[in-house]
Structure 1
Amino acid sequence: MRYVIIGAGAVGGTIGVRLYESGQDVVLVARGRHLAAIRDGGLRLDDPDRSRTVPVPAVGSVRDVDWRIGDVAVLAVKSQDTVAVLDELAAVAPDVVVACAQNGVGNERAAAQRFARVQAVLVILPAEHYEPGVVVVTSGPVPGVLDVGTYPTGTDDVSEAIAADLAAAGFSAHADPAVMEAKYGKLLTNLANAADAACGGDDPGFPALAEALTAEGRTVLDAAGIVARTGEDQRVRDEGILVDRPVAGQERRGSSSWQSLQRGTGSIEARFLNGEIVALGSAHGVPTPVNAALLRVAEEMASHGEEPGTRSAEELLAGKA
């Protein structure tokens, strides 16, 4: 089995390096300066215990991959890039297994519209990517949790094989027949990503804002009859599976959405996190004013190139930002 990691940023880069180090056949799909840096000198992974640079093969597009029978395409791009990547992938490798190692719950739906074999991956992986050719993961010795199951439910031999390979690479990974329930639970946690990006987690009003976002999300999922297995992120930390530690003396700076604003990418994932709740709320007659406001603000900040942490949590919660 070969792993083609599409999106070699914080999550994809960490997965790719760890699988490569464990002896798996890996190809990264990256772009721009990040791709150039990987090709020139390899991909550097910094974690709490060490830093190393590995010569993982990298290409610039799924069209540049020599697709083989048995390949697994691990989708690790931000959700706003999913559809374009899937359409390109379907044109060159229509029979490939697609594993969605992403936040949100819409990526699997989009993949299942184009591919017969889709795996959902719960991602709890505290990692960062700011510098071309460098990825940082802030948990050790276990870098993250990556549970796998077939979409929409169940497991199969591929789920088991992927989970086993990830576990051998140092992750906490299991085949989970109800992995989408866990991903809906993670969605509730990730609703605060937009708040972190907008005002920063150290804003005194952040906890109240995050709780308001989550409360709306819970109400919406209950109305929609969707089961969300909550608390996985806290559980793995309480059990010592994930241990957040400084890397080179520096703590993790922010969520994936915070990182998007910091890097000035021009886009942000809020449409597929908070927007999922807003859309479901509209469909089921549940008001979602806080998530709608954060979605608007996050997208405005991204499109205008605004720095993260420049808004007030109190004003966002009051609907004044």
Structure 2
Amino acid sequence: MRYIVIGAGAVGGTVGARLAGSGREVVCVARGAHKEALERDGLRLVTPDGEQVHRLPVVGGPEELGQLRADDVLLLAVKSQDSVAALDAWAARPVAGGGTAGERLLALCLQNGVANERMALRRFARVVGVCVWLPSTYLEAGVVGAGGSPLTGILHLGTYPPGRPEPVLEAVAADLRASHFDAPLPEDVMPWKYAKLLDNLPNAIEALVGPLEGPEALGLVAEARAEGVAVLEAAGIAAVGEEEAGRARGARMRLLPVPGVPRGGGSTWQSLRRGAVSVEADWLNGEIVLLGRLHGVPTPVNETLRRLVNELARTGGGPGAYTLAEVRERIVAAVGR
């Protein structure tokens, strides 16, 4: 199999580098300065155990790769706001032997949020959801850091919708397990992804105010999560519990320092730190807002967080531009409307 990593940032770059390190064939898809650095210097992966450089084929899009192979596996690792463009770009590409990528190739959604699989299924007949537990950092072009040890990450994989036969998935999981990951194959991966969605709700808080320390910050985290739990219950959506999710990670994946690659924050913080003009808040906090509106559950905390972090991205503000008091004031105003 050949793995095509669509979006070789923190998650995609780490998975691609680890697969390449275990001898698997990998192509990276990147753009801008990151693509230039990968072409010039290779993909540099820094972990608690040291540094590896992988010189891999790099393309900016499917048109640079030409005809796809029947054994290609697409790893979709772009942010959710970029999914439609990426899926549309790859789905119609021809595959050797006939047909298109959307008709024939396996597409794995290595992404936060719970909407990507449905977007992919509109364009691809074979879709796999992946719950990504992978502490990684991408702040410098050409360089990704991953602090998980001894496992780099845990990637739960499952067909979407569940129950569809996909024999190749066992081989993909075996490749991941040979590449410093655990790759469980639950019957239904979506309860794992909804659990991760709840864990990702504080990303916006961290991006707005900085490190989540002290009772006030942790109290706001608890409020955002409580809204999430309430809307999932109202919608009848199952999510793996915190205790079960914690057991799945356990001692197999501890977060250790990565030399020379400080982990200042999660994915939303990193996006703002790189100067991104869009973030994935609409697909994290915004998913809770959507479900709340559908099922009559107020979500003022998540709606305020979604709106503020989107404004920060649009205006070019960096992470930590707000104080907790300012965020709280906006939430109180939202409740009063």
TM-score (normalised: structure 2): 0.91
Indicate the RMSD between aligned Cα atoms, in angstroms.
1.5
- Matches of 1:175 and 1:161, distance apart in 2: 11
- Matches of 2:68 and 2:199, distance apart in 1: 36
Q: How is 1:1-321 mapped onto 2 (pairs within 5 angstroms)?
A: 1-65=1-65, 66-92=67-93, 93-95=101-103, 96-154=105-163, 156-204=166-214, 205-231=216-242, 234-237=246-249, 239-248=250-259, 251-318=262-329, 319=331
Secondary structure, aligned partner of 1:266: coil
- Matches of 2:130 and 2:204, distance apart in 1: 22
- Matches of 1:33 and 1:82, distance apart in 2: 20
Q: How far did residue 247 of structure 1 move?
A: 1.2
- Matches of 2:275 and 2:82, distance apart in 1: 16
- Provide Cα deviations, 1:108-150, integer angstroms capped at 9, x if missing partner: 0100111110001110000000111100001122111111110
Deviates more, 1:258-267 or 1:246-255: 246-255
Q: % of aligned pairs identical?
A: 49
Q: How far did residue 320 of structure 1 move?
A: 5.7
User: Aligned residue pairs: how many?
Assistant: 320
CA contact (8 A) 1:301 1:307 kept: yes
Structure 2 segments unaligned to the other structure (5+ residues)? 94-100
Q: How far did residue 62 of structure 1 move?
A: 2.2
Q: How far did residue 181 of structure 1 move?
A: 0.6
Which amino acid is 2:102 matched to?
P
- Matches of 1:317 and 1:188, distance apart in 2: 20
CA contact (8 A) 1:203 1:312 kept: no
Secondary structure, aligned partner of 2:68: coil
- Matches of 1:253 and 1:48, distance apart in 2: 16
- Matches of 1:176 and 1:21, distance apart in 2: 26
- Matches of 1:312 and 1:241, distance apart in 2: 35
Distance change (3 Å), C-alpha of 1:234 and 1:317:
farther
Which amino acid is 2:113 matched to?
G
Distance change (3 Å), C-alpha of 1:116 and 1:250:
closer
Q: Which structure dedicates a bigger proportion of its chain to strand? A: 2
Q: How far did residue 271 of structure 1 move?
A: 0.3
Deviates more, 1:243-252 or 1:297-306: 243-252
